[in-house]
Structure 1
């Protein structure tokens, strides 16, 4: 008989967002959405009669979460008494003498892995299951991979590895050699990478249920499945309420104000524009007659959230003829920077050009 499980990690309850254009209100809203998705995980565990909920590190942002909020987490786990919740601690919620996890009265169905120097074995005889897990003890790094390689398993049991680590020998996030663990375990529930990633069929990163920044542009959710001895089947269940989407737009010097605005407005589908976080990478050349600041401000009304990476350069249109009235201070200013490719000077030019345009309007 197979055992139903959920594998999740990197939930980061009470995370503080440092995205450059996030307001305090948006940051608070996003924190609440992470809590809402955490609630969805609990509801799914109850509805699907999940036997084990594996959390592979970074359940919370321990630096910011408080005692009362952590009690709320414990109460949510208490609402699924038939689900065994096994928690390994990671870089953002390390387990040590100062950890609030130490002072919480966890429900009987919750198992927090306290060992940080060697692998703890959690045996569940009624399911013939053994969970092998180790927690972090600090938020800096972890080089205790040898403790993972030294694990001895009982081949008569279903063996699960629950670990916040990196399948990358160059990493400081507990680097693990996949060849040294792949034959020991029936399933490896890993955490630390924020995008879903299947290393091998039975060695998987669940990714964070809600994306946290623009580096995490894939689908986000949880892994739900069933496992047995030498057997695992699972699916990826998308739970994320929003996505972080990055789009690239290549500009040409011939593009007008309206042309560039339309390229931004129609760069994706309308649904994602009004729901998700969108970053536009603006590349190429822009005519100095076009105000990109005005375009960016105009574009904001068509998006739930939009920010811009300005990788373009301003250039004068070729063979422009000036008459007495056109050749004013703005045109003189443009000529000083004509064809300059230095990024810092281009940024200074953009700022100065917008200031001059405003001065002209005021006059």
Structure 2
């Protein structure tokens, strides 16, 4: 008889991976009232509560936080203490934190000055290895010591053992090829020999997932920011949930945002009055969820020359219609008859001809700016002409 086949039994477990919550970071480009800004900060907290709820729902063994969690320069002690109270609600979950460039392990960091629960591990500025025998798991992690870390180093790892699982938790800038970055640059060449199952990263606010062509088939994941912080971060905001089972690692992206940011264009071509402009906007965003987002609306298209769009009045009408928060950017162009003006002998005709020559020779981005300048210049010339 041959030798019996050794069967390695590995316990299944789930983890939740998040990063870049930036608690108490002032919102970029925010034009709202002070009370609305305070409400957005509360919504940030609510998003972390949602993440804690997801950890409970999935009975996750680990909560992985890959940096930029508590904004070092602006986070209050009360916010940090509130975070600790939230984490106390999941005592059966190992909470692993790898500080990033916005929450580095400086001497005055709340990571060092406050008492954190025993089931929380905050990685030091040098690589550490944690072992969890019941899950056949090694976790490698490190944190930022300061606001920048342009030199990256990788952990020393032993040869891969049969049945072993490996996770790396770090804040950094990943690229397939070697590049320079002040924020702990990582590339395929660095990560390939580590034979990780999963690299839990933070720093990039857009979610992404890459897979290496190595023995382990390493997954490299940015979960994205769980709550929008600026107008570039539109749509759903997510965390990544991973489950290790007998058949490998399964990943899923779960939306956790409290409120979405959305940026849209509304073409007002054909609207002759401000009331018609309002109706055009309301038709595009019907009552309900669409009006509960933080929304920036770019008004575009041609409008009658004598139609003046008063931003404050438009905002008040949209607020009355149930929009939670809205900004309006007027990018409309007056509906001048350029063909007619171009043929004129005066200054306006000369201006149109010269500007169109420049537009024809410009690249697309510059052409858009020149086109806006053309219409603004005509505005000024028409006003001056009406006075003379």
**TM-score (norm. length: structure 1):** 0.81
* 1:190 correspondence with 2:201: yes
Aligned mates of 1:299, 1:213 — CA distance in 2: 21
Q: Which structure 1 segments of 5+ residues have no match?
A: 321-334, 355-363
Distance change >3 Å, CA 173–CA 251, structure 1 → 2: farther
Q: Which structure 2 segments of 5+ residues have no match?
A: 1-10, 212-217, 341-347, 356-369, 384-388
State the Cα distance separating 1:6 from its structure 2 match.
0.7
Matched with 2:141 is: 133
Aligned mates of 1:269, 1:228 — CA distance in 2: 44
SS at structure 1 position matched to 2:36: helix
SS at structure 1 position matched to 2:174: coil
Contact 1:222 1:239 in 2 (8 A): yes
* 1:247 correspondence with 2:255: no
Q: Residue by residue, what CA displacement relative to the aligned partner does 1:38-73 show, whole Å, maximum 9, x if unpaired?
A: 112222222322111100011111212233432232
Matched with 2:362 is: none
Aligned mates of 2:268, 2:180 — CA distance in 1: 38
State the Cα distance separating 1:312 from its structure 2 match.
3.0
Distance change >3 Å, CA 193–CA 229, structure 1 → 2: farther
Aligned mate of 1:159, from 162, 166, 188: 166
Q: Residue by residue, what CA displacement relative to the aligned partner does 1:338-359 show, whole Å, maximum 9, x if unpaired?
A: 96856468669879999xxxxx
SS at structure 2 position matched to 1:262: helix
Aligned mates of 1:97, 1:349 — CA distance in 2: 58
Count of aligned residue pairs for this structure pair: 334
Aligned mates of 1:284, 1:276 — CA distance in 2: 24
State the Cα distance separating 1:239 from its structure 2 match.
1.6
Aligned mates of 1:98, 1:336 — CA distance in 2: 64
* 1:206 correspondence with 2:223: yes
Distance change >3 Å, CA 338–CA 293, structure 1 → 2: farther
Distance change >3 Å, CA 262–CA 349, structure 1 → 2: farther
State the Cα distance separating 1:163 from its structure 2 match.
1.3
Contact 2:100 2:171 in 1 (8 A): yes
SS at structure 1 position matched to 2:241: strand
Contact 1:158 1:186 in 2 (8 A): yes
**TM-score (norm. length: structure 2):** 0.76
